[in-house]
Chains A and B, each alone.
Chain A
Amino acid sequence: DSGVTQTPKHLITATGQRVTLRCSPRSGDLSVYWYQQSLDQGLQFLIQYYNGEERAKGNILERFSAQQFPDLHSELNLSSLELGDSALYFCASSVWGTGGTGELFFGEGSRLTVL
C-alpha cells in the first residue's frame, strides 16, 4: 500500500460527458502528480501541483483541468470526453517539488472507459 488513495477505481461513461477523479496523497507529501497511461502511449505526464500551486505541466488537453486543495488532495476533471480518453489515470505524490530526488508513490489508478 503506497498510501496514495484514488477514487473511483473504475468509471464507465459516455462520450461528451464530464468526470472527476480524486486523489489523496500520502500523509506529509506536498506534491501531487497526474499521469495518463494508455496501451500505446505508456505513462504520460499531465500535471503537477506543489502545496496548492501548479508546478509543471505536460501535454494536458484543454478539456482537462486539475487543482490541489488546501488539504492537499487533488482532483482531475475531464470534460467533453472522447473515446481516446479511455485510459488508466494515475495519481502520484512525493515529499519534494520539482527537481527533488524523491521517489514517486503511485496510487492504484482510476480506469476510465468512455463508450
Chain B
Amino acid sequence: SQKIEQNSEALNIQEGKTATLTCNYTNYSPAYLQWYRQDPGRGPVFLLLIRENEKEKRKERLKVTFDTTLKQSLFHITASQPADSATYLCALLGTDKLIFGTGTRLQVFP
C-alpha cells in the first residue's frame, strides 16, 4: 500500500543546532515533494518544493534533499531558533491528489 511516513515522535533540539526531519514514502513515484510548516490550530504554510530531478534545494536557513532511490526526503533547518518550533509536513503528489504525511513536531529550546 502507499505510505508517507514521518517520525511521529517530537524532535527536541537546542537553539543554534541543525534540525533534520525525515520523510519516507513507499509505492509512490512523485514528480515532486513539498514541505509545509503548521503551527497549532493554524493552516499549513508552504515552505519548499523539490522536483524529482533535483537533489537539493535551499531557501535561507532551510535545505531539502530528495533521494528517489531511497524514496526519502530530508528537511534541514540550520541555526535553529525557538521560533522554528512547529509541526513540519511533507507532501507529495499521488495519482491525482496531494497527500500529506502526519508531520513531525519540532521543539527548539533556548
- Which residues of A come within 8 Å of B, CB atoms? 2, 4, 33, 35, 41-43, 45, 48, 55-56, 58, 88, 90, 92, 98-99, 101, 103-109, 111
B100 close to A108 (CB less than 8 A): no
A103 close to B46 (CB less than 8 A): yes
Closest A-chain residue to B100, C-beta based? A43
Give the top 8 A-B pairs by smallest Cβ distance, nearest first: A106-B43, A42-B102, A103-B46, A43-B100, A56-B96, A56-B97, A98-B96, A45-B97
Known A56-B96, A98-B96, A109-B41; further 12 A-B contacts with Cβ < 8 A: A42-B89, A43-B100, A58-B97, A90-B43, A98-B97, A101-B31, A103-B34, A106-B43, A107-B43, A108-B42, A108-B43, A109-B42
B89 CB → nearest A CB, Å: 7
Residue in A55, A106, A109 whose Cβ sees the most chain B Cβ within 10 Å? A106
Task: Give 12 pairs: A residue, B residue, CB < 8 Å, sorted on A.
Answer: A42-B89, A42-B102, A43-B100, A45-B97, A45-B98, A45-B100, A90-B44, A99-B93, A101-B31, A103-B34, A103-B49, A106-B43
How many A-B pairs have beta carbons closer than 8 Å: the answer is: 53
B22 CB → nearest A CB, Å: 16
Interface residues of B in 85-110 (CB under 8 A from A): 89, 93, 96-103
Q: Is residue B76 within 8 Å, beta carbon to beta carbon, of the partner chain?
A: no
CB-defined contacts of B71 to chain A, threshold 8 Å = none
A42 close to B43 (CB less than 8 A): no
CB-defined contacts of A108 to chain B, threshold 8 Å = 42-43
Closest A-chain residue to B8, C-beta based? A42
Q: How far is the CA of A4 from the CA of B45 in the complex (A)?
A: 12
Q: How far is the CA of A92 from the CA of B46 in the complex (A)?
A: 11
| Partner pick for A105 among B46, B101, B103, CB 8 A cutoff | B46
Chain B 36-60, CB-CB to A under 8 Å as 1, else 0, gives 0000011111100101000000000
Q: Is residue B32 within 8 Å, beta carbon to beta carbon, of the partner chain?
A: yes
